[in-house]
Homo-oligomer: A and B are copies of this chain.
């Protein structure tokens, strides 16, 4: 049984390029994780004729149709009406939905305008997908072999609605449950991970094992189908163990949001505090750490020492060193991390200094040359990076440098040598 999916996103703002279709990406990841095969994405505007044609096309080429957008209260919001028409259903008023919408406005302390109650009309015979994250409820029904799920467009509603409401409904498509677990890998490229695991990936059918390349890292998703959650988890566990045995400490976490979350979790467990000193990343490492809710229990702060004056004046980097070697060298990275640790009064500090581009620095250091350091109670470690070729774009250099800085802290906190001796350019 292999179901095929089309994601149909509705909204002129997508066709104007006003927003990116992040819903389609987020849902595709989730659906793939469930073992459902996404074959098409399509986008049409708020136009009933074109939407209707797109629905007819979708039901002819996929058996699961997931729509995003067009469930709101304005006259542009046509998805429910059009799909009800396509599938020969009436829209029925759901008083319990109306109540939910009124409660939502009450909770937000806002006046509700009458047109919001339009959102309580849903196709007859559907299952209502209650929206705890916004006003427009979603819905789902099966009609003539097509499974239809309608979700609201705003990403902050679409993804939780999918996870919390649509996934249980879609469980009918699989006999049993689907569970997945994502291992996050840092420090090895996608092709290397893939060639290491290719034979196993080809052998495995339940669970499946699939790699996904992400900016500077690799995700490995293990997905199992079974009669119960416990059985699915029991299928996943030995594969996870096997992957961890092969990749060792390159696996930095499972089902986590990123290196920053793992660093924060490890530091919190150990009761340690963190700080940052950044030059070329210009605040990105601190920003990523503070993206995580609750960072305040661990993260004390950071210094963005973009100019050398600030490196010397605030962080105490030696002026003689800066004069002699410039800002981009191992010693400056080291003194920045030590300075941050002292000035911020934290247990661990990471630093980054390098050339983000677009041009080489005034000493001729190339774009992509970066030094990142960790200062800890028991020593200082520096890693040299040389990000070259296609990757040597300003945003990518900065992101990769931030990853490496976080990874130094992660390794130390996990009880590993912060700079692996096997990796290139490790010093000192």
Binding site for B on A (CB under 8 A): 9, 14-22, 24-32, 38-45, 50, 54, 57, 108-110, 134, 154, 156, 212-214, 276, 278, 280-287, 289-291, 293, 295-296, 299-307, 309-310, 313-314, 343-345, 356-359, 388-390, 393-395
Contact = CB atoms under 8 A, between A and B. Distances in A.
A401 B300 CA distance: 20
B42 A43 contact: yes
A369 B293 CA distance: 16
Given A282-B287, A301-B304, A15 B42 contact: no
Nearest to A135: B390
A17 B37 CA distance: 11
A301 B307 contact: yes
A27 B30 CA distance: 26
Given A108-B389, A309-B345, A43 B45 contact: no
B285 A358 contact: no
B39 A42 contact: no
B20 A25 contact: yes
Contacts of A281: 287, 290
B21 A39 contact: no
B286 A345 contact: no
Given A24-B43, A156-B393, A310-B345, 12 more contacts: A16-B29, A16-B38, A21-B25, A40-B43, A40-B44, A281-B290, A283-B285, A283-B290, A287-B287, A293-B359, A300-B307, A303-B314
Contact of A212 (B15, B18, B45, B306): B18
A124 B333 CA distance: 55
A22 B284 CA distance: 22
Contacts of A358: 293
**Top 3 closest pairs, chain A to chain B, by CB:** A282-B290, A17-B28, A283-B286
A390 B108 contact: yes
Query: Which of A17, A110, A283 counts the most B-chain CB atoms under 10 A from its CB?
Result: A283
A314 B344 contact: yes
Contacts of A27: 17
A304 B283 contact: yes
A300 B283 CA distance: 12
A345 B301 contact: no
Contact of A303 (B134, B295, B303): B303
Nearest to A156: B393
